[in-house]
């Protein structure tokens, strides 16, 4: 089997509702799709979805790297798939570009029954956390009730520094009035400081908070807080490489590593991270980079490798109004029913 062509396509995803972080409000987000075709006309797709606000990749850098691949002779020649896979794996690529090419090549390899040297689960039930931002109190209560009715039992709350009083009231309402076994993950996106993180973690200690994710931006502050906070802490933005993981395992008491496979470089690095964390009292949680349903397939595959039953951050498909493809892994009752067959099913795309 030979590969004959390579193309990339910029695409703009539209949020159904404005997406708020601790510092910004987004109506749209830009991603890139890549397509490889084989000699029989079959197409294989991948997605690069950089998050310039959260890591060092810019949209221009990603597009320039993809443009460079457009002109590389190897993609227009009749090299074998294995040769191309080895070639791309040997290159120094931006993490989201590596994720996209890894997705394409693994899809090619597995569809053509070529050994990819990676042991993948055939099927798995994956727990999923819901994602919501704080709005006014009544709207937040309605949203929590709605998420409970949809089967979620873990909710990730995106919050800002100035929202803490509202956050506290909402959690107090859940504990006092709802007869539901809910857990919450609090994500301030680095908007808190050391002093109020410690004070707030003590105030929230008796609420059902599984962890507080990246409360402060500075990694050294986060490490210090990990020994003082009564609520476990998780790292997100501070963990981008395997070297970062080694440092945090050795020098911190952080209990949860929240990994965005898109920004971490894909499945191969997830395998290495699992080996690093094995026996170290660290739980790995995979999380969306707000990719489309194309990249979500490889995200879910990455999540299937994690050896725990904790909820993973995969419930973002409904956030966009113009998905380019159907969802191979929809969430039902707070779960995704992963199977390798669904991962390999053909895409039906509408790139308008």
Res 72: pLDDT: 62
Verify that 195 and 65 share a domain, yes or no.
no
Q: Do 106 and 129 lie in a common domain?
A: no
Tell me the pLDDT tens digit for each residue of 180-221: 789 999 999 899 999 999 999 999 999 999 999 999 999 999
Number of domains in the chain: 2
Q: Does 118 reside within a domain?
A: no
Q: 185 with 92, same domain?
A: no
Instruction: Tell me, yes or no, whether 268 and 203 share the same domain.
Output: yes
- Residue 97's domain comprises 3-111
Percentage of the residues of the chain whose pLDDT score is greater than 70: 93
> Does residue 230 share a domain with residue 141?
yes
Separation between Cα atoms, residue 351 and residue 348, nearest integer Å: 10
CATH of the domain at 147: 3.20.20.120
pTM for this entry: 0.92
Same domain for 163 and 235? Answer: yes
Q: Are residues 82 and 172 in the same domain?
A: no
Residue 4's pLDDT band (cuts 50, 70, 90): confident
Does residue 351 lie in a domain region?
no
140 contacts: CB under 8 Å, gap ≥ 6: 132, 134, 166, 170
> Please, what is the average pLDDT of the chain?
90
280-299 pLDDT per residue, tens: 999 999 999 999 999 999 99
Q: Between β-strands 183-187 and 209-213, what pairing exists: parallel, antiparallel or unpaired?
A: parallel
pLDDT at 170: 96
171 with 284, same domain? yes
pLDDT of residue 21: 67
Closest CA to 218 of 235, 201, 240, 198: 235
| Residue 349 resides in a domain | no
Evaluate whether 334 touches 153 at the Cβ level (below 8 Å): yes
User: The CATH number of the domain where 98 resides is what?
Assistant: 3.30.390.10
Stretch among 73-77, 86-90, 105-109, 330-334 having the lowest mean pLDDT: 73-77
Asked whether residue 35 is assigned to any structural domain, the reply reads yes
Confirm if 37 and 5 have CB atoms less than 8 A apart. Answer: yes
The whole-number average pLDDT for the span 65-69 is 89
């Amino acid at each position: 089997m030979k590969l004959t062509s390579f193309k990339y396509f910029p695409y703009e995803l539209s949020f159904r509702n404005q997406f708020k972080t601790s510092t910004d409000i987004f109506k749209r987000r830009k991603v890139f799709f890549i397509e490889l075709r084989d000699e029989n006309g079959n197409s294989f797709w991948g997605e690069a979805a950089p998050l310039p606000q959260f890591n060092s990749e810019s949209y221009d850098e990603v597009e320039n790297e993809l443009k460079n691949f457009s002109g590389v002779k190897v993609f227009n020649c009749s090299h074998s798939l294995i040769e191309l896979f080895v070639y791309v794996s040997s290159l120094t690529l931006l993490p989201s570009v590596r994720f996209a090419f890894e997705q394409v090549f693994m899809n090619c390899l597995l569809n053509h029954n070529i050994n990819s040297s990676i042991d993948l689960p055939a099927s798995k039930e994956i727990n999923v956390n819901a994602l919501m931002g704080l709005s006014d109190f009544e709207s937040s209560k309605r949203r929590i009730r709605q998420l409970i009715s949809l089967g979620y039992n873990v909710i990730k709350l995106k919050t800002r520094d100035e929202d803490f009083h509202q956050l506290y009231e909402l959690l107090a309402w859940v504990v006092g009035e709802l007869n539901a076994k809910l857990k919450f993950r609090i994500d301030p996106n680095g908007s808190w400081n050391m002093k109020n993180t410690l004070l707030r973690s003590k105030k929230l200690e008796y609420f059902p908070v599984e962890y507080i994710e990246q409360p402060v931006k500075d990694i050294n502050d986060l490490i210090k807080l990990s020994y003082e906070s009564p609520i476990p802490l998780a790292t997100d933005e501070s963990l981008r490489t395997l070297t970062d993981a080694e440092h945090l395992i050795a020098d911190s008491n952080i209990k949860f590593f929240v990994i965005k496979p898109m920004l971490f470089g894909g499945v191969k690095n997830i395998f290495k991270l699992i080996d690093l964390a094995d026996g170290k009292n660290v739980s790995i949680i995979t999380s969306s980079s707000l990719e489309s349903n194309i990249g979500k397939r490889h995200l879910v595959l990455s999540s299937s490798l994690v050896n725990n039953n904790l909820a993973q951050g995969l419930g973002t498909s409904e956030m966009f109004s113009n998905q380019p493809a159907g969802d191979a892994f929809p969430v039902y009752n707070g779960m995704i029913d992963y199977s390798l067959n669904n991962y390999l099913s053909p895409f039906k795309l509408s790139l308008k």
